[in-house]
């Protein structure tokens, strides 16, 4: 008998082969795919995220855990889709115009996926109107903007402006990246800032709940 | 007369490396989504003017405009075929400015992704990417290779190995550190001593740090102590930002003045850092003050 906590521990430890075996075993035992996501994968990712926030683990451990989670999701996603189950929240994410850096953005996308958000990843160098169009198309609760360069941060402001101008009142905007601060977030009128990919999950859950 | 080797020179005198390139190019009109490497071909006089400003400020190490010049980075602009031509050109431009008592430092930045098992790139593939870029820098006349702003010691070591495989020129290796829970680590979590030791073990002649996330001038002094301790007598380098960035409206300010950076430079030299240069927020004015410190 496999248990959900065994799965969570395998994900947290980045043991992808074990994690896949547990996922399959839990399905064979009759558990619902959504329960496996919510009570196995999500707690595993939350636990590694917590350790990351506390500087007990670093980027490599997060990436390895996320990879294990992703492989389990490959098994579960078709089943979830067949049952018509969609993630509760959808986030549109991208690196802002002029900036080609994607490591931070990818980390946040993985962590959000690990918290069972639907992710629409627009990549890098994303124009403000592209964020707006994707958020509309996917009825996203969240728009997540990333920038690594101090020189591209003004593109965040333009994107916030474009989202507000489009009247997308139902979507919240969160910002992050090495040079970004809470102060800057407030100044450009974004809805939230988080300083690392694990805190981004807490913020995303908080913001999405208010949508 | 043959130029003295950089490694010998930095053991007998204090050397100054140059400062930020990207922000200087933006001031000269480079667009944010433009490929900086393209300027080696299309705006060579502007690239040289930045080199000249730093050389005139007293910097003897002139860093080529090739941070994003690896195939993997150029491919982001759809320009992967230009690696050899543009890196060669970057080294030539720096060489036209460095002069007989300056050195052309062939710049190699991160390849932009993670190595296996975190990413999909194998060390062999990455070594090939770095070799291609470094060969062109050497052909263009580089006097040393700088593998810089690295977060992952494994990637940095592949860079050093690639350089060692194509040239006997000295290799300088630098990491970007951040402060997490009171300790200096790279983004990958590696502490200073382990990171620096790995660089020398892989064959770097000179190792240290540049840039970094949100580090104050005081942080750089602490970081320098750890680097010098790990170097254990071997040559070291530090290229700090002009303090931590501060957002004012749409602009980013680095508050450290040339005088502040000169004072920091004296302190870094007193701690035993062999080569001091600048990174984000530094300008020729900062470097002029630092070179005199």
Read off the pLDDT of each residue in A188-211 and give the average, rounded to a whole number.
Answer: 94
Q: How far is A58 from chain B (nearest CA, A)?
A: 5
- pLDDT band for position B278 (cuts 50, 70, 90): very high
Q: How many CB pairs under 8 A join A and B?
A: 65
Q: Are residues A67 and A124 in the same domain?
A: no
**Residue in chain B nearest A57 by alpha carbon:** B189
Q: With an 8 Å Cβ cutoff, are A98 and B33 in contact?
A: yes
Whole-number Å distance between alpha carbons of A37 and A198: 18
Residue A51 has pLDDT above 90, yes or no: yes
Count of CB atoms within 10 A of residue A81's CB? 11
Helix axes B192-202, B153-166, angle to 10 degrees: 20
- Verify that A106 and A77 share a domain, yes or no: no
Asked whether residue A66 falls in the same domain as residue A106, the answer is no
> How far is C-alpha B198 from the geometric centre of its chain's CA atoms?
18
A137 and A96 share a domain?
yes
Which residues in chain A have Cβ-Cβ distances shorter than 8 Å to B185?
58
Kindly determine whether residue B117 and residue A184, on different chains, have CB atoms separated by under 8 Å: no
Cβ of residue A159 closer than 8 Å to a chain B Cβ: no
Whether A28 and A95 share a structural domain: no
Q: What is the CATH number of the domain that holds A161?
A: 3.40.50.280
A53 interfaces chain B, CB cutoff of 8 Å: no
Contact (CB<8Å) A187/B187: no
Dihedral angle of Cα A195, A196, A197, A198, to the nearest 10 degrees: -100
User: Are A76 and A105 within one domain?
Assistant: no
Domain end residue (candidates: A27, A52, A82): A82
CA distance B3 to chain A (A): 37
For residue A65, the chain B residue with the least C-alpha distance is B118
Question: What residues of A are in contact with residue B247 (Cβ under 8 Å)?
Answer: 150, 153, 179, 181, 183-184, 187
Residue B1 pLDDT exceeds 60: no
pLDDT given at position A167? 93
Chain A residues with CB under 8 Å of B32 CB are 97-99, 149, 151-152, 155
With contact defined as beta carbons under 8 Å apart, do B46 and B28 qualify? Answer: yes
Residue B156 confidence (pLDDT) above 80: yes
Confidence at residue B2, expressed as pLDDT on a 0 to 100 scale? 66
Q: What is the CATH number of the domain that holds B287?
A: 3.20.20.330
Mean pLDDT within B155-181:
96
Of A177-191, B100-114, B269-283, which gets the smallest average pLDDT? A177-191
Whether the per-residue pLDDT at A119 is higher than 70: the answer is yes
How many independent structural domains does chain A possess?
2
Q: If you average pLDDT over residues A23-48, what whole number do you get?
A: 97
Confidence of residue A24 (pLDDT cuts 50, 70, 90): very high
Can you list the alpha helix ranges (DSSP code H) found in chain A? 4-12, 16-28, 33-36, 42-53, 59-82, 103-114, 128-137, 154-165, 182-188, 197-209
The pLDDT assigned to B60 comes to: 97
Q: Average pLDDT over chain B, rounded to whole?
A: 95
Percent of chain B at pLDDT above 90? 87
Tell me: do A67 and A22 sit in the same domain: yes
Domain termination residue (choose one: A60, A82, A104): A82
Find the helix or strand (DSSP H, E) in which A56 lies. none
CA nearest A66: which of A39, A47, A84? Answer: A47
Assess whether pLDDT exceeds 70 at residue A171.
yes
Give the Cα separation of A170 and A142 in Å (integer): 9
Is the minimum CB–CB distance between A186 and chain B shorter than 8 Å?
no
The secondary structure of residue B205, as a DSSP letter, is S
- Residue B117, preceding peptide bond in cis (omega within 30° of 0): yes
- Same-domain status, A99 and A68: no
Domain, as residue range, for B235? 36-292
Q: Identify the pLDDT of residue A150.
A: 82
Q: What is the DSSP letter of A85?
A: -
- Chain B residues touching A155 at Cβ < 8 A: 32
pLDDT digits (tens, 9 = 90+) for A87-110: 999 999 999 999 988 989 999 999
Reply yes or no on whether the pLDDT at A60 is more than 90. Answer: yes
From A50, A82, A114, give the residue that closes a domain.
A82
Searching chain B, which residue's CA lies closest to the CA of residue A68? Answer: B118
Tell me the CATH number at A57: 1.10.1240.10
Question: Cβ distance A29 to A1 under 8 Å?
Answer: yes
- What is the tally of structural domains in chain B? 1
Question: Which residue segment(s) compose the domain that A77 sits in?
Answer: 4-82
pLDDT above 90 for B99: yes
- Cross-strand pairs, A117: A89
Whether the Cβ atoms of residue A49 and residue A62 lie closer than 8 Å to each other: yes
pLDDT digits (tens, 9 = 90+) for B13-56: 889 999 999 889 989 999 877 899 999 999 999 999 999 999 99
What's the whole-number mean pLDDT along residues B173-183?
94
Pairing of strands B245-248, B183-185: unpaired
Q: Are residues A96 and A22 in the same domain?
A: no
């Amino acid at each position: 008998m496999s248990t959900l906590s065994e799965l969570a521990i395998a994900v947290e430890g980045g043991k992808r082969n074990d994690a896949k075996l547990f996922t399959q075993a839990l399905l064979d035992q009759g558990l619902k795919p959504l329960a496996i996501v919510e009570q196995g994968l999500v707690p595993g990712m939350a636990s590694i995220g917590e350790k990351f926030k506390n500087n007990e683990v670093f980027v490599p451990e997060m990436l390895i855990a996320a990879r294990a989670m992703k492989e389990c999701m490959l098994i579960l996603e078709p089943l979830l889709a067949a049952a018509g189950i969609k993630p509760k929240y959808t986030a549109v994410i991208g690196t802002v115009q002029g900036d080609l850096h994607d490591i931070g953005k990818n980390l946040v996308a993985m962590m959000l996926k690990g918290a069972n958000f639907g992710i629409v990843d627009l990549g890098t160098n994303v124009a403000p109107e592209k964020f707006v169009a994707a958020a509309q198309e996917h009825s996203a609760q969240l728009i997540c903007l990333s920038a690594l360069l101090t020189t591209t941060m003004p593109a965040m402001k333009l994107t916030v402006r474009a989202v507000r101008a489009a009247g997308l009142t139902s979507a919240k905007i969160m910002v992050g990246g090495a040079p970004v601060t809470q102060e800057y977030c407030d100044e450009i009128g974004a809805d939230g800032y988080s300083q690392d990919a694990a805190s981004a999950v807490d913020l995303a859950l908080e913001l999405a709940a208010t949508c | 007369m043959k130029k003295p080797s950089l490694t010998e020179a930095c053991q007998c005198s204090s050397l100054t490396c140059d400062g930020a390139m990207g922000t200087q190019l933006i001031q000269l009109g480079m667009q944010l989504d433009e490929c900086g490497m393209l300027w080696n071909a299309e705006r060579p006089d502007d690239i040289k003017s930045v080199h000249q400003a730093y050389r005139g400020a007293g910097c003897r190490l002139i860093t080529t405009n090739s941070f994003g010049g690896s195939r993997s980075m150029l491919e982001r602009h759809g320009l992967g075929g230009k690696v050899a031509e543009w890196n060669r050109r970057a080294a030539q431009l720096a060489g036209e400015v460095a002069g007989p008592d300056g050195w052309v430092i062939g710049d190699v930045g991160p390849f932009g992704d993670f190595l296996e098992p975190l990413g999909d790139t194998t060390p062999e593939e990455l070594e090939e990417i770095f070799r291609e870029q470094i060969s062109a820098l050497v052909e263009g006349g580089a006097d040393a290779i700088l593998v810089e702003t690295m977060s992952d010691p494994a990637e940095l070591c592949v860079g050093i190995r690639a350089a060692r495989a194509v040239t006997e020129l000295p290799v300088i290796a630098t990491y970007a550190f951040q402060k997490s829970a009171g300790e200096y680590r790279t983004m990958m979590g590696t502490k200073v001593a382990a990171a620096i030791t790995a660089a020398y073990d892989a064959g770097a002649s000179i190792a240290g740090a540049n840039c970094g996330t949100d580090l104050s001038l005081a942080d750089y002094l602490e970081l320098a102590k750890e680097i010098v301790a790990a170097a254990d007598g071997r040559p070291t380098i530090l290229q700090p930002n002009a303090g931590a960035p501060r957002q004012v409206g749409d602009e980013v300010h680095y508050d450290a003045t040339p005088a502040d950076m000169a004072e920091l430079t004296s302190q870094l030299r007193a701690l035993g850092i062999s080569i001091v240069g600048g990174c984000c927020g530094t300008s020729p004015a900062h470097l002029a003050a630092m070179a005199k410190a």
